[in-house]
Amino acid sequence: MNLRNLSQAAVMVMLSPLALLAQAPAPGSIHGHVQNAAGVAQAGEIKLSTDRTSDEKNRKYQYTFPVSASGDYTGTGIAPGKYILFFVLNGKTVDYVDNVEIKSGVDLAQNDDMTREEFLKNMTPEQRKQIEDFKKQNAATMAANKTVGNLNTLLTQARDNEKAGKYDDAVSEMQQATTQKPDEAILWLELGNSQVGAKKYDDAVTSFQKAADLNASAKKPNAAIPGSAFNNMGQAYAKLNKPQDALAAYDKAAQAEPAKAGVYYFNEAVVLYNSGAHTESATAADKAIAADPTKADAYYIKGQSLIDKATIDSKTQKMQAPAGCLEAYLKYLELAPTGAHAEDVKGIVSAFDEKQVAAFKSNSKKK
């Protein structure tokens, strides 16, 4: 062999290992979805094995990948080759798929669908009956969930339309909702709200009463529903110029939801005041104050209700406050010194006899 041949041989020897390294295959990957015999996504584990001879206890697995609660799994870094794919739950093999081939650089989609006939035919009659019973129950649940989803969508759309001032659209949506599920109190409450916005006050009264009645017959009544229903019914009656009916509704609201009685009695006082029944509005304001002594506006409406009973002192030409009026105004200023009515109240108080105001303030400090 001459030197030239020796040189070529050396080059071949040097290149051979590099050529072998270049031929090593890239790993593959796998992904898929697992659903059980009832057609429901199933969590567990996916295991890949080339072991075809050992029993389950001694079987060796080359790869294990978790299956999520949604039934999905992903596995990477898998050496190319043919495997048996096992679905394992709580350490026990539930199903398998044979001849799963992983190719170099390829992501294989491989589902495990246990609703296939091949899997079902190996189940006992009792197991198959259990699956069929579950499917029926699940179908009913899915139908109920679909109805709930539709109702939630209608409710959300109606509330959005109410905010946008599209009350007729909101009424239409809530009528659809109450037709789909006429025994749901909250839907009738929202229908009544949209009807008030659309100025359909008589219809609103009917809807609010329906909401209250349904809640009363519920297994677990919710005090907030009749509270809101009767409160908003009071608003509807006020718009219909039926103050006495409005008052009865507000009283029912306070009785149904005592925690918010201060709000409901205040609304009652406003309706009475706006109707010109000032003596009665002062009484309602007292009820609001008794329920919530920190509600500043209740003192304001009380003062406004009593102010028309003020007299003028013939000597000083100053107003003399009737009983409870000055006290209410000053309490309002104490609770809301920068409130919406603060400047008006200050002006009214300044019109009273200074001695009466000073004497009252002095007595208040002593208390």
Interval 101-155: pLDDT, tens:
999 999 999 999 998 988 888 888 887 787 777 667 666 666 666 767 788 889 9
User: Are 295 and 288 a contacting pair, CB within 8 Å?
Assistant: yes
Interval 299-352: pLDDT, tens:
999 999 999 998 888 887 788 888 899 999 999 999 999 999 999 999 998 888
Indicate the residue type of 335.
Answer: L
**Residue 18, pLDDT score:** 47
Domain edges within the chain: 19-122, 124-222, 293-367
**Helix crossing, 296-306 with 261-274: angle to 10°?**
30
Distance between CA atoms of residues 326 and 304, nearest Å? 10
The residue that leads in pLDDT, 340 or 366, is 340
Q: Has residue 11 got a pLDDT over 80?
A: no
pTM of the model: 0.59
Pairing type for strands 112-113 and 28-35 reads parallel
Residue 36 in tokens: 């059980």
Looking at the chain, the whole-number percentage of residues with pLDDT higher than 90 is: 63
Which CATH superfamily, name and number, covers 19-122? Carboxypeptidase-like, regulatory domain (2.60.40.1120)
Q: What is the CATH number that goes with domain 124-222?
A: 1.25.40.10
Distance between CA atoms of residues 138 and 126, nearest Å? 18
The residue that leads in pLDDT, 146 or 280, is 280
Distance between CA atoms of residues 107 and 34, nearest Å? 17
Whole-Å CA distances, 103 to 39, 94, 98, 112: 29, 26, 15, 19
**Helix crossing, 261-274 with 224-239: angle to 10°?**
10
